[in-house]
Amino acid sequence: MATKKTSNSSNKKSAEKKEPLYTIEKLARKNDIPDWILAGVKQRNRWGEGKKITEKEFLAKAKEFEKGPMKK
């Protein structure tokens, strides 16, 4: 009988689900991100109030925003 092989993409999804999700507002407070940076990150990524993501993703997006053309 044939056995079903699991792909790497399904394993990645399982790993992603293990990371806890937090609201972006909670992550901003936890990491001392100023309100103006949070507002810019939300605008740039088209995120609404209460968006839940991993802390790793949030910090990467905040860092990306800070390096953007509007930051001097």
Domain limits of the chain? Answer: 18-66
pLDDT tens profile 5-56 = 555 555 556 555 689 999 999 999 999 999 999 999 999 999 999 999 999 9
> In the predicted model, is pLDDT for residue 62 greater than 70?
yes
- CB-CB contact of 44 with 65 (8 Å): yes
Q: How far apart are CA 27 and CA 33, in angstroms?
A: 8
Collapsing DSSP to helix, strand or coil, 5 comes out as coil
pLDDT (average), residues 61-66: 94
The model's pTM: 0.70
| Reported confidence tier of residue 69, pLDDT bands at 50, 70, 90 | confident
- CB-CB contact of 27 with 58 (8 Å): yes
